[in-house]
Chain A
Amino acid sequence: MGLGDGGGMGNLAIEARGLVKRFDGALAVDGVDLAVPEGAIYGVLGPNGAGKTTTLRMLLGIIDPDKGERRVLGRADPQEIASQIGYLPEERGLYPSMKAFEAIAFMGALRGLPLAEGRRRGRDLLETNGLGYAADRQIRQLSKGMAQQVQLLGTLVHSPRLVVLDEPFAGLDAINQGKLERLIRDLAAAGTTVIFSTHVISHAERLCDNVAIIAGGKVPYAGSVDAARDRIRPQVRLETRHRDGPWRSALPAAARLEGNFWQFPLPESGVEPLLRALIEGDAGILSLSIERAGLHDAFVAIAGEAAAQALEAEREVAS
């Protein structure tokens, strides 16, 4: 089955199959498959060097894959529909001598927006995002965070159907990260498809319907955040009055005592047989909670502890 045949996945904004990219013999991306539904917020999650940026660049047509197929907004060549795409690269870049509203207008002009309309929208966007006072300032006069926001507005000025953001939260303070999260949700609510890469799991967990976990140039998991979390059995957290007794035999072998709490994965048979055994065995239940696994746990399970530690280390460096 070729790309675009549907495959029962509904309308896809992006569909990629078996993307491979080598740089002078070094394998950067190794057989990446992606399916991004229209109107979704999609996260590409992985540590530095995993192949996130190269994958996004291939999806945008900035570079061509050595192997594999891609289809973006229904086109095999993404550059054919460049005016419907907005792209914020990982390495932010603006002309230092340009005024903020001109920079936004220029980015719109590259995507086919008439310059005069781009200037008008540039001023409006700056105003509505609290940067109206900086509209006539040169980019070199803005702080790094402000310049980053200007570039983001330039990415959106032509009202694209698909927005691709490469590490959009990098370099933003907590307040602006929150603003960006709201902006992404607003875009999706308006029907825009948003795909972004990140090494911060919490952003992906809060925002995304679907994620692709990418590591070592491969995608070991691509699908809904819920399905990723469901890969790990929910964790049971149990506190009892008695330390020992016949009820202990009801606990799974993996159960471990941490302080006053027993922790173990929810047994396959469910919680009812366990509860019955605890009550009949006179455990004296003080508390019992069942916690669903987070995306971090899913990431650890899918990509490995070391990859998760790398993500954590990068997050700390970035913050």
Chain B
Amino acid sequence: MSAERLPLLKAAYVVARRDFVAILFSRAFFFFLLGPLFPIAVFALAGSIGQRVDSATASPQLGVAMQASDVDAILGAQERLRGSLGPAIPEMTVLVRLAEGETYDPNEVLARREGNLAAVLTGTLSSPELTVTEGWAWWSGPVGVLAAEAQDASRAYPTVRTVTVATSGASEHRARLRTAQAGQLLLFLLTMLLAGMVLSNLVEEKANKVIEILAAAIPMDAVFLGKLFAMLAISLVGITVWATVIGGLIGLSGFESLSSGAVDLSNLPAPGVGWPGFVLLGIAYFAMGYLLLGSIFLAVGSLASTVREVQTLSMPVTMMQVLLFFFASMAISETGKPIEWAAMAFPLSSPFAMLARAAQHGSLWPHALALAWQFVWVFLFIRLGAALFRKRVMKSGPQGVRRKRKLAALALAPFAKRT
């Protein structure tokens, strides 16, 4: 056994190991695993995901560019089949009613990506042609059914000639914005959830009176580090569980069936830094974002002694984080402008802004710089938080001291007079 004291990192490891095991085998971890479902459900219900990127998440549409009679017939077929086939029938929008002999270039309209077109139907009812962007070729089936219904339900399904076109530059950009926004949202949810958990964990420790034992034995920085990294490790376990479950479901049933065809991974363009880089940077920015927010929450924890006080004190921090999230979200569409630079430079919004940048741009050096910058702030926040914690956590408090003094004053009056 060392004759002096545990080094900082070893002491942090002792705290982290205890916290990790305790949380992993607690009900809190179960709720942590379920946690992301609730906000996702709320966002999904509110229909607010992706509103900033206009039509990015609206239902994909099938554009129709056929002769007027065919257009009317196929719209009628859609109307008749909607009741029985439901969402399998694509939403349709009439692009143009062609005159006799008039032609139409579906590639050109798809390249413009106005509206939310995923495919364009041309040709005739007996010989339909479907020009689709990547991932929507499966619409050839419903289109065949529609074309048959539009002619005569008893006839055989016509063969649908399908032409797949590469996703246009505009749609790729929009998809990357979508990736950036989804990444930011995931980052925000995870950091908020974890920072709240680490704060509850600390307050519980204060309530258990264990904190004084820790403070007497190891540096408060080690307590902070241990708690932060224990929760980080817990979150990585959670993410691994989620990834395994989702990966398993995809492996078993395929992504399209899992998402009812609404999402197709193969249709998503690679982020600017590529998928592996994006995932790695996502984990790094998640770690930094969590450590930054967690250290602030721990400092807040030093000011509070009850759960109620924690709720009161953490509210402004939570609101601030929401504002910073919106700030970073705004920066997504302002690439290269001062607002993006500000979002990247401000420590608490930097992880969000940089993740969005990783989705949109390929260069890696800004990320190295940003991670170093964020690390400096993590270090400062932990040191400041630990100092504040040490200063405040182990005192009786002004009211406590005064109250005790008042009670003791009567008892000690004779001694006070002598001195």
- Chain B contacts for A83, CB-based, 8 A: 1-6
The answer to whether the Cβ of A178 comes within 8 Å of any Cβ in the partner chain is: no
The answer to whether the Cβ of B85 comes within 8 Å of any Cβ in the partner chain is: no
Q: Which residues of A contact B (CB under 8 A)?
A: 23-26, 28, 47-50, 53-54, 57, 60-63, 79-85, 87, 89, 91-98, 106-107, 109-114, 158, 215-216, 218, 220, 303-307, 309-310
Q: Which of B370-398 contact A (CB under 8 A)?
A: 390, 394-398
Q: Which of B1-28 contact A (CB under 8 A)?
A: 1-6, 11, 14, 18, 22, 26
28 residue pairs A–B, Cβ–Cβ below 8 Å: A23-B395, A24-B401, A28-B401, A49-B405, A54-B396, A62-B212, A62-B215, A82-B4, A83-B4, A93-B213, A94-B210, A95-B18, A107-B213, A112-B2, A112-B6, A114-B1, A215-B412, A215-B415, A216-B408, A216-B412, A216-B419, A304-B415, A304-B418, A306-B411, A306-B415, A307-B412, A307-B414, A307-B415
Contact, CB under 8 Å: A62 / B216:
yes
- Chain A contacts for B11, CB-based, 8 A: 110
Cβ of A73 to closest chain B Cβ, rounded Å: 10
Contact, CB under 8 Å: B3 / A23:
no
Contact, CB under 8 Å: A47 / B411:
yes
User: CB-nearest residue of chain A relative to B14?
Assistant: A109
Whole-angstrom CA separation of A293 from B139 in the bound complex? 103
User: CB-nearest residue of chain B relative to A151?
Assistant: B213
Whole-angstrom CA separation of A49 from B402 in the bound complex? 9
Contact of B394 among A63, A87, A218 (CB under 8 A): A63
Most B CB contacts (10 A, CB to CB) among A80, A93, A158, A307 go to: A93
- Chain A contacts for B407, CB-based, 8 A: 48-49
Contact, CB under 8 Å: B402 / A26:
yes
Whole-angstrom CA separation of A23 from B208 in the bound complex? 23
Contact, CB under 8 Å: B4 / A24:
no
Q: Which 3 A-B pairs have the closest CB atoms?
A: A93-B209, A49-B404, A310-B411
Contact, CB under 8 Å: B217 / A111:
yes
Whole-angstrom CA separation of A310 from B414 in the bound complex? 12
Cβ of A22 to closest chain B Cβ, rounded Å: 9
Whole-angstrom CA separation of A109 from B10 in the bound complex? 10
Most B CB contacts (10 A, CB to CB) among A84, A95, A107, A111 go to: A111
Whole-angstrom CA separation of A92 from B209 in the bound complex? 6
- Chain A contacts for B411, CB-based, 8 A: 47, 306-307, 309-310
Binary CB contact string for chain B from 350 to 363 against chain A (1 if under 8 A, 0 otherwise): 00000000000000
Contact, CB under 8 Å: B3 / A91:
no
Contact of B415 among A26, A48, A158, A303 (CB under 8 A): A303
Contact, CB under 8 Å: B414 / A306:
yes
- Chain A contacts for B215, CB-based, 8 A: 62
Whole-angstrom CA separation of A222 from B227 in the bound complex? 41
- Chain A contacts for B415, CB-based, 8 A: 215-216, 220, 303-304, 306-307
Binary CB contact string for chain B from 198 to 233 against chain A (1 if under 8 A, 0 otherwise): 000000000011111111111100000000000000
Q: Which residues of B contact A (CB under 8 A)?
A: 1-6, 11, 14, 18, 22, 26, 208-219, 390, 394-398, 401-402, 404-405, 407-408, 410-416, 418-419
A80-B4 CB under 8 A given contacts A49-B408, A218-B419: yes
Given contacts A47-B408, A220-B415, 13 further A-B contacts (CB under 8 A): A23-B398, A47-B411, A49-B408, A50-B408, A53-B396, A62-B215, A63-B395, A95-B208, A110-B6, A111-B5, A304-B412, A304-B413, A307-B412
Contact, CB under 8 Å: B412 / A47:
yes
- Chain A contacts for B219, CB-based, 8 A: 79
- Chain B contacts for A49, CB-based, 8 A: 401, 404-405, 407-408
Whole-angstrom CA separation of A97 from B25 in the bound complex? 10
- Chain B contacts for A93, CB-based, 8 A: 208-213
User: CB-nearest residue of chain B relative to A85?
Assistant: B216
Cβ of B383 to closest chain A Cβ, rounded Å: 16
Most A CB contacts (10 A, CB to CB) among B396, B398, B401 go to: B401
- Chain A contacts for B211, CB-based, 8 A: 93
User: CB-nearest residue of chain A relative to B400?
Assistant: A23
- Chain A contacts for B1, CB-based, 8 A: 83, 111-114, 158
- Chain A contacts for B217, CB-based, 8 A: 82, 87, 107, 110-111
- Chain B contacts for A303, CB-based, 8 A: 412, 415
Cβ of B74 to closest chain A Cβ, rounded Å: 65
Contact, CB under 8 Å: A306 / B5:
no
Cβ of B23 to closest chain A Cβ, rounded Å: 10
Whole-angstrom CA separation of A80 from B8 in the bound complex? 11
Contact, CB under 8 Å: B210 / A305:
no
A80-B5 CB under 8 A given contacts A23-B395, A24-B398, A310-B412: yes
User: CB-nearest residue of chain B relative to A305?
Assistant: B414
Whole-angstrom CA separation of A311 from B353 in the bound complex? 61
- Chain B contacts for A215, CB-based, 8 A: 408, 412, 415
Cβ of A318 to closest chain B Cβ, rounded Å: 15
Whole-angstrom CA separation of A79 from B414 in the bound complex? 38
A89-B216 CB under 8 A given contacts A304-B412, A306-B411, A310-B412: yes
User: CB-nearest residue of chain A relative to B390?
Assistant: A63
- Chain A contacts for B209, CB-based, 8 A: 89, 91-93
Cβ of B135 to closest chain A Cβ, rounded Å: 49
Most A CB contacts (10 A, CB to CB) among B5, B26, B394 go to: B5
- Chain A contacts for B390, CB-based, 8 A: 63
Whole-angstrom CA separation of A150 from B401 in the bound complex? 30
Cβ of B32 to closest chain A Cβ, rounded Å: 16
Whole-angstrom CA separation of A47 from B215 in the bound complex? 25
Contact, CB under 8 Å: B18 / A106:
yes
